[in-house]
Amino acid sequence: MSPHSDLNAFWMPFTANRQFKSAPRLLERAEGMFYWDAEGKEILDSTAGLWCVNAGHGRSEISDAITAQTRRMDFAPTFQMGHSLPFLFADRLIKHTSKGLNHVFFTNSGSESADTALKMALAYHFVRGEPQRTLLIGREKAYHGVGFGGISVGGLPNNRRAFGNLLTVDHLPHTLDQERNRFSQGLPLYGVEKADALEELIHKHGAEHIAAVIVEPVAGSAGVIVPPAGYLQRLRDTCTEHGILLIFDEVITGFGRLGTPFAADYFGVTPDIMTTAKGLTNAAVPMGAVFSSDTVHDAFMSGPTEQIEFFHGYTYSGHPLACAAGLAALDIYEKEDLLHRGSLIAPSFAEMIHSLRDLPHVADIRNLGLMAAIELEPKVGEPGARGYEVLLKSLELGLLVRATGDTIALSPPLIIEMSHLDRLFQTLREVLRTIS
Ligand code: PMP
């Protein structure tokens, strides 16, 4: 029996439960750029929790707003009834989205946002009289959450293989090209032609059968895979030409991660549907939001006015506490210009992370805005062991990183200062020097 048998009841997500519970790592308090553990040790948060606490931890503006809203009205339905907050929040949000993304459907997570976006795309073609457009196209190495839609279009084999029949989909190739783009800073130069695979899929299936293409503008969970220059524009052009909807999953890249409000702004490419979550409420209350273009939204609004337009929604869509948290987060983002601040920090962040390239076992480094990954050579016969060693050694030295396999991802809160960057990279350097 584990020495911590009181930890057995909580079945942890995406965790090696038995390993964790034999030596648990518990965080107890958080403020600004830091966590503190049960022993009171200060830990620099280089991952904004899980790519989500963009304005830093413990923002009292957000907790005050949640508390006040709990007292005013804890819950109200948004099915055939309403309350003012989701209308207000949606209206505030669309002031930050690129042209035409003027409509917001609220969910409770990134996974629900992905499934909502896919259903919205299918229903869009249905209501327009093209019900045969049912094929969804994802991309290898993509992560779109854990709903059945999300894992179907997702491209991470571990997340799919135990779950039997999924939706019928097809996949574009991923854009990681370590032959040509290893240690690229920012956008990789090579590989725009990978977008031409969409033409091949159109040829294979027929455009008239394809509903949508979904991609993360920068793939996050697969290890920060930055698209080659021009790639997203080429996907956009092909989708437009063939009447296929383009969905950007901006659950990670949304809300300032790249130094622009959304990746769509960074790349100057506007999708038809855009999914978000995480930074939407600064992670204080779970919430997601799916933004749709006027064209997509308006297609639903042409039937009889007494008819429900989209048979989809969650009990907690537009939950008052989530809206209160989101509005307070947006106040902070606006007041502190956090949706753009990343662009000021990104050059130092890039320089510092790339200064680690000559350390032992570093196989590749990739970055864009305030997200980056260090890929380590796997230990022979023990994939993931080096990544795990970096996680543990970093924690010992007071630094939280995200390790997926042998890839170490960084996505610090957007309030990060130079002193935090110095400490982050000094610690990482020390850790990488000593791993076996
Ligand atoms: N899409 C992307 C791109 C993500 O990174 C994530 C979560 N890391 C999700 C969807 C799923 O979000 P959630 O865990 O909130 O369901």
**Residue bearing the CA closest to ligand 1, atom 12:** 110
- With 80 as the cut, is the pLDDT of residue 1 above it? no
Task: Give the separation between CA 246 and CA 153, rounded to whole angstroms.
Answer: 13
Percent of the chain with pLDDT over 90: 97
Alpha-carbon separation of residue 165 from 189, 199, 359 (angstroms): 38, 26, 43
The CATH superfamily holding the domain 5-55+338-434 is Aspartate Aminotransferase, domain 1 (3.90.1150.10)
The neighbouring-strand residues paired with 104 are: 291
| Mean pLDDT over each residue of the chain, to the nearest integer | 97
Confidence of residue 248 (pLDDT cuts 50, 70, 90): very high
Q: Which of the following CATH numbers is that of domain 63-173+209-219+246-335: 3.30.2000.10, 3.40.640.10, 3.40.50.2000, 3.60.15.10? A: 3.40.640.10
> Where does the chain hold its CATH 3.90.1150.10 domain(s)?
5-55+338-434
pLDDT at 4: 77
CA-110 nearest atom, ligand 1: 12
- Beta carbons within 10 angstroms of residue 203's beta carbon: 9
Confidence of residue 29 (pLDDT cuts 50, 70, 90): very high
pLDDT at 99: 80
- With 60 as the cut, is the pLDDT of residue 130 above it? yes
Quote the tokens at residue 351: 């320089």
* pLDDT tens-digit readout, 201-219: 999 999 999 999 999 999 9
The predicted model gives 406-411 an average pLDDT of 98
pLDDT at 100: 85
CA-50 nearest atom, ligand 1: 8
List the single range of 240-244, 301-305, 326-330, 341-345 with lowest mean pLDDT: 301-305
pLDDT at 165: 86
Confidence of residue 170 (pLDDT cuts 50, 70, 90): very high
pTM here is 0.98
CA-277 nearest atom, ligand 1: 15
pLDDT at 2: 57
| 301 C-alpha to ligand 1 centroid (Å) | 29
Q: To 5 degrees, how large is the angle CA 177–CA 182–CA 183?
A: 145
pLDDT at 308: 96
The predicted model gives 260-268 an average pLDDT of 98
Task: Give the separation between CA 232 and CA 141, rounded to whole angstroms.
Answer: 16
- With 60 as the cut, is the pLDDT of residue 236 above it? yes
| 144 C-alpha to ligand 1 centroid (Å) | 6
Q: Yes or no: say if 306 and 294 are a contact pair by the CB < 8 Å rule.
A: no
Confidence of residue 396 (pLDDT cuts 50, 70, 90): very high
> Where does the chain hold its CATH 3.40.640.10 domain(s)?
63-173+209-219+246-335
3-class DSSP string for 160-211: CCCCCCCCCEEEECCCCCCCCCCCCCCCCCCCHHHHHHHHHHHHHHCHHHEE
The preferred substitution site among 108, 218, 221 for testing ligand 1, maximizing ligand atoms within 8 Å of CB, is: 221
